[in-house]
Amino acid sequence: MEINGSFMEQPRPQRISKLSGHDWVIEVLGGHPGTCFDLFRMKKKAFINLCEELRRIRKLKHSRNVTIQEQVAIFLFVLSHNERQRMAANRFQHSLETISTYFKKVLYAICSLTKYVIVPPSYDATPPEISYTTKYYPYFKNCVGAIDGTHVSACVPQDSQVPYRGKKIVPTMNMMCACSFDMRFTFVMSGWEGSANDSRIFLECISNPANKFPMPPARKYYLVDSGYTNMPGFLSPYRGERYHLNDYRGQNLPPQGTRELFNYLHSSLRNVIERCFGVLKKRFPVLRDMPSYSLRKQKYIALACCVIHNVIRMYDSGDPLFVEFENEDVELEEDDMIAQEQQTIQVNVGPEHLREMSRFRDRLAQRMWNDRGG
């Protein structure tokens, strides 16, 4: 087209691929299994079951132009790729506004699955991961899971970053999770500022009924690290002794004495929560580089990732990331291995109850030592 003696390129329509977003999703699901995992961070079976769960609870439905499968695919695609919404718009042949709308819709739908998927552990029987392992049985036969906190990326306005920095250079959110020994999350509290220490979040979780923390019944307990109080329901290691598995690896000496042996076995079993965090962060890059969503939406993104984590564990025992992190001796990143240096916040528990839990730990440590010929 010539205007005033110069040529101007005619406008070209954008997103004109012959392969619609729905057709592309069908092609991916019907193609090589590795392609589905690479693009959506889960295999076909888990993807289909996630869609079915969302349809079952009636939080998602087919729209005129976008099926449930495509809506979920958009959400997972945005979580898993650096270019996120702009790349998704080109891939699914929708406007940025449409991509944003469905991302938000699926985000809150997945968070609605929390009450069905992130549920308390069974208190009736000893977990098979303990009962079938002489390393842990019978010492931890009443243990129901492990608890810890981890930091995920947060995108915060410059003038609001101070509470989110903590000991990290970049802003983060601190989230507390409990998990069972089959690597499923049983409780998630996300959205705390990065400067909040683990014990403060823990105290809020267990003391506020609105949080619905799954408190264990009498004589049952979670494993926690030394940043938490050793009290009924929560068994922590001995302070001032070697604890982390790296302290016992390589040229380091094996456990010496009752306390070190207890700490070593405690750390080996509690390591399951660190491995859960390892799977979570490796699967979802968004937890390491959060986009500039609202803080409320960032909080729900972290929760949604935990929900998807559980759905995959429920429906795909052969998921590559779970297989990679199933071994308790797997090398974890430093951020996930090292407990924060923090001052334990005192909880409202009577001194006699604290002494009883301390005596229980001492008896357990002595029994471990005696059984190994110490």
**pLDDT tens digits for 58-108?**
899 988 789 999 999 999 998 886 557 778 888 888 888 999 999 999 999
Backbone phi, then psi, for 178, in 5-degree steps?
-115, 145
Q: Is 74 within the bounds of a domain?
A: yes
Label residue 151 by pLDDT band (50, 70, 90). very high
What is the average pLDDT across 278-285? 94
- Region 274-292 average pLDDT: 93
Q: Is the pLDDT of residue 281 over 90?
A: yes
Given 112, 141, 166, which residue is the final one in a domain? 112
The b-or-e profile of 203-215 (16+ CB within 10 A means b, else e) is bbbbeeeeeebbe
Average pLDDT over residues 222-233: 92
> DSSP per residue over 25-84, as a string?
HHHHHHS-HHHHHHHHSS-HHHHHHHHHHHHHTTS----SS--HHHHHHHHHHHHH-SST
pLDDT (0 to 100) of residue 341: 47
Q: Same domain, yes or no, for 281 and 360? A: yes
Q: For residues 218 and 91, state if they share a domain.
A: no
Say if residue 143 is in the same domain as residue 225.
yes
Q: The whole model's pTM is what?
A: 0.90
pLDDT per position as a tens digit, 121-143? 989 999 999 999 999 999 999 99
pLDDT bucket at 343, cuts 50 / 70 / 90: low
Give the burial string for 290-329 (b: 16+ CB within 10 Å, else e).
beebebebbbbbbbbbbbbbbbbbebbeebbbbeebeebe
Query: By residue range, what is the domain housing residue 252?
Result: 119-292+350-371
Domain count, the chain: 2
Angle between helices 295-315 and 96-112 (to 10 degrees): 60
pLDDT digits (tens, 9 = 90+) for 292-312: 899 999 999 999 999 999 999
Query: For position 270, what pLDDT does the model report?
Result: 95
CATH number at residue 73: 1.10.472
Predicted pLDDT at 3:
55
Question: Three-state SS for 368?
Answer: helix
Average pLDDT over residues 256-284: 95
- pLDDT tens digits along 25-43: 999 999 998 999 999 999 9
What is the average pLDDT across 198-208? Answer: 90
DSSP state of 231: B
Q: Which carries the bigger pLDDT value, residue 283 or residue 250?
A: 283
340: pLDDT strictly greater than 50: no
Above 70 in pLDDT, residue 1? Answer: no
Closest by Cα among 70, 17, 15 to 39: 70
Judgement on whether residues 105 and 134 belong to the same structural domain of the protein:
no
Within a domain: residue 241? Answer: yes
Residue 242 shares a structural domain with residue 144: yes
Give me the pLDDT at residue 344, please. Answer: 54
Are 255 and 279 contained in the same domain?
yes
